[in-house]
A = this chain, B = another copy of it.
Amino acid sequence: MTERKRIRKSPAVRRDEIRGAARAIALEQGLSAVTQRAVAERVGIVPGLVTHYVDRMELLVAEIFREIAREELEQVRGEVAGAGGDVDRVLVLLRELIGDYRRDVALVWVDGWSLSRRNDDLAAVLTEEARAWEEFVAAVLADGHRAEALHAPDALALARFVVGATDGLSAQAAVWAGYEAETLGTVVRTVAGLLRIPREELTLRGY
């Protein structure tokens, strides 16, 4: 019925199609749904062709995870860079992490944590990306500290706390969504207090 002529494409294009399909599946149905057959069907090719372009499926999953994590980090990085002062940068960061968090991406992180026990490639990528996040947040905090807009003597330790806490909170929100809004305020106030950001800075911004 739906038998059509086989279309021959350049390896580069095919590779992109496969990675694109894998990425979409990961975001829509989770990392563990990224299977040879699922990717093949989405691209409209035969399963065997996927492995022809992908050494091992485990590796593809790991690379797709990296792609998604990097994308998110760069997006937040952009938002934060666009913010005005040092305090604003921190507040924008928190809003991005909690308020405007992306449910699909949060679920991919959860999958990553769970799968990394059996997928070594994924485990390696996971720690890399987590480190990248920590360093980014630490840099934002350190900048604010240098500018004396906030108090963050040990920026890295604080960053780890912020990243860990927000990860957990977005994971929660992702699974039983419902109270992101009320949580955002609590998180912002908490971290702001930790950073000794003056209370009036928050109130005049509506937190």
Beyond A110-B113, A113-B114, A190-B194, is A183–B171 a contact (Cβ under 8 Å)? no
Confirm or deny: A116 has a beta carbon within 8 angstroms of a beta carbon on chain B. yes
A117 touches B107 (CB 8 A): yes
Classify the interface of chain A: helix, strand, loop or mixed.
helix
Chain B residues with Cβ below 8 Å from A187 are 161
Chain B residues with Cβ below 8 Å from A164 are 165, 168-169, 171-172, 183
Interface residues on A, range: 35 or more
B175 touches A113 (CB 8 A): yes
Q: How far is the CB of A147 from chain B (nearest CB, A)?
A: 22
Beta-carbon contacts under 8 Å, A145-176 to B: 157-158, 160-161, 163-169, 171-172, 175-176
Q: Which residues in A have some Cβ–Cβ distance to B below 8 Å? A: 29-30, 32, 107, 110-111, 113-118, 123, 126-127, 130, 157-158, 160-161, 163-169, 171-172, 175-176, 179, 182-183, 186-187, 189-190, 193-194
B175 touches A161 (CB 8 A): no
User: Which residue from B157, B168, B189 sits with its C-beta under 8 Å from A165?
Assistant: B168
A161 touches B183 (CB 8 A): yes
B176 touches A130 (CB 8 A): yes
Q: How far is the CB of A9 from chain B (nearest CB, A)?
A: 33
**Can you give 10 A-B contacts (C-beta < 8 A)?**
A30-B118, A113-B114, A113-B175, A157-B182, A158-B186, A161-B187, A163-B172, A165-B168, A189-B194, A193-B193
